[in-house]
Amino acid sequence: MNTATQEHTDTLDALFAAGAHYGMSKARRHPSAREFIFGQKDKVDVVDLEKTTEMLENAKDFVRTLGRERKVLLFVGGKPESHKVVREEAQRVGAAYSIGRWIGGTLTNFAEIKKRVACMQDLIAKRESGALSKYTKFERLQIDREIERLEQMYAGLTTLNDRLPQALFVIDPRREAIAVREAKRNNIAVVALANTDCDIADVDYPIPANDAARKSIAYIVREIAAAYEAGTNEKPAPAVARV
Same domain, 135 and 169: no
Same domain, 170 and 87: yes
Same domain, 97 and 114: no
Question: According to the model, what pLDDT value does residue 239 have?
Answer: 56
Distance between alpha carbon 113 and the CA centroid of its chain, in Å?
18
**Structural domain count of the chain:** 2
Low-confidence ranges of the chain (pLDDT < 50): 243
Question: According to the model, what pLDDT value does residue 178 have?
Answer: 96
Same domain, 228 and 177: yes
Question: According to the model, what pLDDT value does residue 240 have?
Answer: 54
Question: According to the model, what pLDDT value does residue 243 have?
Answer: 46
Question: DSSP characters for the chain?
Answer: --HHHHHHHHHHHHHHHTTTTEEEEGGG--GGGGGGEEEEETTEEEE-HHHHHHHHHHHHHHHHHHHHTT--EEEEE-SHHHHHHHHHHHHHHT-EEEESS--TTTTTTHHHHHHHHHHHHHHHHHHHHTGGGGS-HHHHHHHHHHHHHHHHHHGGGGGGTTS--SEEEEE-TTTTHHHHHHHHHTT-EEEEEE-TT---TT-SEEEES-SSSHHHHHHHHHHHHHHHHHHHTSPPPPPPPP-
Distance between alpha carbon 229 and the CA centroid of its chain, in Å?
14
Rounded Cα distance, 111 and 119, in Å: 13
Residue 194 structural domain: 3-103+164-232
- Asked if the structure places residue 192 within a domain, the reply is yes
Please tell me the pTM assigned to this model: 0.90
What is the pLDDT of the chain when averaged over all its residues? 91
Same domain, 54 and 97: yes
Question: According to the model, what pLDDT value does residue 29 have?
Answer: 87
Same domain, 148 and 199: no
- Asked if the structure places residue 148 within a domain, the reply is yes
Same domain, 138 and 27: no
Same domain, 56 and 168: yes
Which among 191, 181, 220 has a CA at the least distance from the CA of 81? Answer: 220
- Asked if the structure places residue 193 within a domain, the reply is yes
Question: According to the model, what pLDDT value does residue 238 have?
Answer: 62
